[in-house]
């Protein structure tokens, strides 16, 4: 079956521009996660949704970062007024149910480069 | 705050060697630990998931162990192959919250 998909796969933005990154989770998956992976580092947690509810946004680095999942399926991560330090790969993951026992399935990521 | 480290940062071995990748975490209050593989330009592929009550998991040539009290896990790869070349990430799931805390990864190169 189809896995987690993300678009665009690559995005180049000039400093100060706004960007929107899309995640299509596996159909029917309740939980959705966003992670940020800087070059040479492991992914770091940004935010977590259970259906349409954003239950944890403790990892968002600033108020320029905003995520939504209005219908409990597709999610969008928006970054306003991008800065060079926002350059990273943004990974989305989904899991079938809420709860730590369930495996997370990761998408291929969106590589954002801010020039 | 949970912190995860991995040693070595990079490893290069000839084909056929057995090897061990190490992962350490600072807080033993974990729900489970998972090893992932990441190929360049691709997402993460789950390799092995160990629940906190388990000591090890095996899948094919891979064996992962967990010593929760000492905050350590190892990933053992037997008879390495060039196709094993990738970055290997260790991630722990704390008892609190839903998300993983990842280590920085070990970049493995298996030379033909």
Distance from CA of B25 to the nearest CA of A (A): 14
The pLDDT of residue B41 = 79
Give B29-39 pLDDT, tens digit per residue. Answer: 999 999 999 99
A61-75 b/e (C-beta count within 10 Å ≥ 16 → b): eeeebbbebeeebeb
pLDDT digit string (tens) for B5-29? Answer: 999 999 999 999 999 999 999 999 9
CA-nearest residue of chain B to A89? B41
- Asked if A56 and B97 count as a contact pair (C-beta separation under 8 A), the reply is yes
State residue B42's pLDDT score. Answer: 82
State chain B's maximal CA–CA distance in angstroms.
43
Taking only the tens place, the pLDDT of each residue in B29-67 is 999 999 999 998 788 999 999 999 999 999 999 999 999
Q: Provide the pLDDT for residue B82.
A: 97
**Residues B31, B52: Cα–Cα separation, whole Å:** 5
Band (pLDDT 50/70/90 cuts) for residue A32 is very high
Minimal Cα distance from B101: which residue of A?
Answer: A44
Residues forming a β-bridge with B38: B44, B87
Q: What is the DSSP letter of B81?
A: -
B105 touches chain A (CB under 8 A): yes
Q: Is B98 close to A55, i.e. CB distance below 8 A?
A: yes
Give the mean pLDDT of chain A: 94
């Amino acid at each position: 079956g189809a896995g987690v998909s993300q678009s665009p796969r690559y995005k180049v933005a000039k400093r100060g521009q706004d960007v929107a990154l899309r995640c299509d989770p596996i159909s029917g998956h309740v939980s959705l996660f966003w992670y940020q992976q800087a070059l040479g580092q492991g992914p770091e947690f940004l935010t977590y949704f259970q259906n349409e509810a954003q239950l944890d946004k403790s990892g968002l680095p600033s108020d320029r970062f905003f995520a939504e999942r209005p219908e409990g399926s597709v999610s969008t991560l928006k970054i306003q007024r991008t800065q060079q330090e926002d350059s990273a790969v943004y990974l989305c993951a989904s899991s079938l149910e809420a709860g730590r026992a369930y495996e997370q399935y990761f998408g291929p990521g969106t590589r954002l480069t801010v020039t | 705050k949970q912190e995860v480290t991995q040693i070595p940062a990079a490893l290069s071995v000839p084909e056929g060697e057995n090897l061990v990748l190490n992962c350490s975490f600072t807080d033993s209050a974990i729900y489970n630990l998972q090893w992932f593989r990441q190929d360049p330009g691709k997402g993460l592929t789950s390799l092995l998931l160990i629940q906190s009550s388990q000591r090890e998991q095996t899948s094919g040539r891979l064996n992962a162990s967990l010593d929760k009290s000492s905050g350590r896990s190892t990933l053992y790869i037997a008879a390495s192959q060039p196709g094993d070349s990738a970055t290997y990430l260790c991630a722990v799931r704390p008892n609190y919250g839903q998300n993983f805390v990842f280590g920085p990864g070990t970049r493995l190169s298996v030379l033909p």
